[in-house]
Amino acid sequence: MNITKEQIDELNAVVKVAITKDDYQDKVDKILKDYRKQANIPGFRKGQVPIGLIKKQYGRAVLVDEVNKLLQDNLNKYLTEEKLDVLGNPLPKQQDNFDWDKEDFAFEFELGLAPSFEVPLKTKKSITRYKILADKKMVTEQVERMRKQYGKLVTKAAVEKKDEINGIFLNEDEEIENKATVELEKVKSKKALAALIGKKVGEKVSLNTKGLFKEDYLLSSVLGISQEKAKDLKIDVSFTIEEINEREPAQLDQDFFDKLFGKDTVTSEDEMKARIKEDSEKQFEQQSDQKLLNDITEYFIENTKFDLPSEFLTKWIQMTGEKPLSPEEATEEFEKSEKGLRYQLIEGKIIKDNNLDIQFDELKEFAKGFIKSQMAQFGQLDPQEEELDNIAARVLGNQDEVKRLSEQLMSQKLLNLYKDKVNFKVKEVTYENFVKEVYG
């Protein structure tokens, strides 16, 4: 067998594979002999079928199969040994006069080659790195939410502005009958509020669903219907009051602090606010980091210039898709995927140049850290190392989980590299302003 490469240009090449009879004949003969031992053909005893008949019946199929195996194995080996960085897969060139009756065969494959380029990490333009702050307003609101969450319910005789009402929503025509709790502070409709204020247990009020709550998602929740059905719903529902409660906020005392943060960890309101601010800003770092990673990705895509073997890739998309595509459809698919392909190449180059490959031991430690954080959410703050090892082993036995965790770990590695190398300008913003600026 002889394999040669003809370089068309920097991004395209043709590989020629010459296969002779000596390359495949021994294997073909062995397979046909094995077929002969097992063949059941009327008129012949098992194992006594003439080899000529076996060749006539099975020879062509065995030949084609073995030649294709030789092609695939040796072409892949050649690409690896020659260190050819190809895009997509080699595409066989059409041969109109190909003849399987010959003893020697010649095949040609088109290659699309990855471009050569550099990715300077020291960016010319400074990229904004957001530092999201928990301002005084946010901290105060969080304190009030916590006090309310850990407060106690006090039964009321009649409904007042800040009460919680338990009751049953009913509309027979829409098949709605659902028991729910309504917090008056979340009711938007002034007409509904006026109808509810002063009512007592057992009384029934009629409420219109349009604009009933400040947050649209609440309507589907209290009526027990889907979000889709609740959207733009404009009907009257009856609401029968079963219970009226006022939620009395928890006192800012040591018992409250201990419930939130552990015994004697926080001992005053000022310490509590400082802890809330610190914890909130740690959580905001994840959003800030994701924004940073997205912005750097966009920067590299826009500023790393290189050509792609577009014609080859379009043809590859056309020939290897789940269903046949027209040239126009293949061109459209290539244009859709080009940006993603460019970043795959850029990311691959960064990973290679900076030795960011993931080793199994560090993936295992990353998995254990993820597991530990999940356990902490359920109150298991100090799991045993052996337990973490066992859970990690089970998780890493699932290839989908391995892929997911590997992607997360690589994103973290890239982010750490960017933080060290890329030019930044730090911008301090409140969370509210961050959301406005980033998400509009």
Binning pLDDT at 50, 70 and 90, where does residue 36 land? confident
CB-based burial, 266-291: b 16+ in 10 Å, e otherwise:
beeeeebbebbbeebeeebeeebbeb
Please give the mean pLDDT across all residues of the chain: 92
**Per-domain residue ranges of the chain:** 2-113, 152-248, 267-439
For residue 333, give both structure tokens. 């698919």
Q: Which pLDDT score, from 0 to 100, does residue 6 have?
A: 95
Q: What mean pLDDT is predicted for residues 327-356? A: 94
pLDDT interval class at 53 (50, 70, 90): confident
- Does domain 152-248 fall into CATH 2.60.40? no
* Residue pair 169/310 in contact by the 8 Å Cβ criterion: no
Q: Give the Cα separation of 233 and 175 in Å (integer).
A: 14
Q: Residue 331: is its pLDDT beyond 80?
A: yes
Radius of gyration of the chain (CA): 35
Q: Is the pLDDT of residue 367 over 80?
A: yes
Q: Among residues of the chain, what percentage have pLDDT more than 70?
A: 100
pLDDT tens-digit series, residues 192-229: 999 999 999 999 999 999 999 999 899 999 999 999 99
Decide if pLDDT at 45 tops 80: no
Confidence of residue 44 (pLDDT cuts 50, 70, 90): confident
Q: Please state the φ and ψ torsions of residue 351, each to the nearest 5 degrees.
A: -60, -45
| CATH superfamily ID and name for 2-113 | Trigger factor ribosome-binding domain (3.30.70.1050)
For 219-245, the three-class secondary structure string (H helix, E strand, C coil) is HHHHHCCCHHHHCCCCCEEEEEEEEEE
**Nearest Cα to Cα of residue 127 among 355, 283, 302, 345:** 302
How many CB atoms are closer than 10 A to CB 100? 10
Average pLDDT of the residues in 52-73: 91
The strand pair at 127-133 and 424-430 is best described as parallel
Distance CA 223, CA 218 (A): 9
267-439 CATH fold: Trigger factor, domain 2 (1.10.3120)
Q: What does DSSP assign to residue 5?
A: E
